[in-house]
Amino acid sequence: MSDVPPLVLPAPAKLNRLLRIVGQRSDGYHTLQTLFQFLDIGDTLTLRGRGDGKLHLTPALPGVPDEANLILRAARLLKEASGCRLGADLHLEKRLPMGGGLGGGSSDAATTLLGLDHLWGLGLPLATLADLGLALGADVPVFLHGHAAWAEGIGERLTPVTLDTPWFVVVHPGIGVSTPAVFKAPQLTRDTPPITMARALQGGAASWRNDCEATVRELYPEVASTLDWLNARAPSMLTGTGACVFARLASEREADNLLAEMPEGWSAFKARGLDRSPLHDALGRWPSA
């Protein structure tokens, strides 16, 4: 298989443009309503087929043992589910901060599932891959469906949407936020009334909020001060459970101006919102209408 060129695929970031927590299931998971949008920035995964069935990932992620790495977990899951006897060498170029609310781990898992499906010639439907992915994380299915989406349930009931695609400046406040800690916090509100997708879209970006924000501000003062600084300059929000926050800007120039003003030592980047995932564009694979 060594003369076959490797498959080089993007694993884009996502933003939660809105996040409402509408309830909690008996297994503890929270039911939510969210709008997912992709960014034109992310990790890159290089995949090469192996005939001996082995799965090998380089480099190791700091603090993440191989058995917990979502890329290897996704690869093993697909091998088991499909009965495929092939293997792969996987190389990850990690750009997205871990635990940042940008869905990096989930996106890596989705790119692995879709990439190996292609490399191993399995041809599984996207919906089957999304079902497999949901076992790895609530955010994996949207990365497999590949379109900006209104999501309900725990994030798996998806309706494709077309959103405004402005420029964003994403800032990482330099601390990690624990998703389980935010969802366990007693002060988190879990009773926001559900709304229809039409109403959410009609309200537009100015009306969109993230229900985790008050709790994350309380638990992580660094996130609160970053949000305050950004909000004084442009409409800004938390993505997922943080730690990243993002400002919405009308043009690349405004994004550049905001980046130039940023206090030294903050880690920040500009990115474009995307309604179509670059992963699906790279593979030429879209759900049938």
Ligand X SMILES: Nc1ncnc2c1ncn2[C@@H]1O[C@H](COP(=O)(O)OP(=O)(O)OP(=O)(O)O)[C@@H](O)[C@H]1O
Ligand Y SMILES: C[C@](O)(CO)[C@H](O)COP(=O)(O)OP(=O)(O)OC[C@H]1O[C@@H](n2ccc(N)nc2=O)[C@H](O)[C@@H]1O
Residue list, annotated binding site: 97-107
Which residue lies nearer to ligand X by CB, 128 or 178? 178
The CB-of-177 to ligand Y minimum distance in angstroms stands at: 10
If contact means CB under 5 to 8 A according to the sort of partner, which of ligand X, ligand Y, none does residue 102 touch?
ligand X
Select from 179, 195, 235, 262 the one that contacts ligand Y (CB under 6 A). 179
Structure tokens at 10: 């993007």
If contact means CB under 5 to 8 A according to the sort of partner, which of ligand X, ligand Y, none does residue 98 touch?
ligand X
DSSP code string of the chain? -TTSPPEEEEEEEEEEEEEEEEEE-TTSPEEEEEEEEEEEEEEEEEEEEETT--EEEESPBTTB-GGG-HHHHHHHHHHHHHT---EEEEEEE--SPTTSSS-HHHHHHHHHHHHHHHHTT----HHHHHHHHHTT-TTHHHHHH-B-EEEETTTTEEEE------EEEEEE-SS---HHHHHH-TTS---PPP--HHHHHHH-GGG--BTTHHHHHHH-HHHHHHHHHHHTTS-EEE-TT-S-EEEEESSHHHHHHHHHHSPTT-EEEEEEEESB-HHHHHHT-----
If contact means CB under 5 to 8 A according to the sort of partner, which of ligand X, ligand Y, none does residue 146 touch?
none
Q: Is 139 in the site for ligand Y (CB under 6 A)?
A: yes
Among the listed residues 43, 108, 117, 139, the single catalytic one is 139
The CB-of-156 to ligand Y minimum distance in angstroms stands at: 9
Q: Is 210 in the site for ligand Y (CB under 6 A)?
A: no
Contact positions vs ligand X (CB under 6 A):
61, 64, 68-71, 98-106, 108, 137, 139, 179, 240-241
14 is catalytic: yes
Q: Name residue 196's amino acid.
A: T
- Considering only residues 98 to 137 of the shown chain, the ones binding ligand Y according to CB under 6 A are 101, 106, 137
The CB-of-27 to ligand Y minimum distance in angstroms stands at: 9
139 is catalytic: yes
Q: Is 90 in the site for ligand Y (CB under 6 A)?
A: no
Which residues contribute to the annotated binding site for ATP? 97-107
If contact means CB under 5 to 8 A according to the sort of partner, which of ligand X, ligand Y, none does residue 78 touch?
none
The binding site for ligand Y (CB under 6 A) comprises 16, 28-30, 32, 34, 101, 106, 137-139, 154-155, 179-180, 183, 240-241
Task: Give the active site residues.
Answer: 14, 139
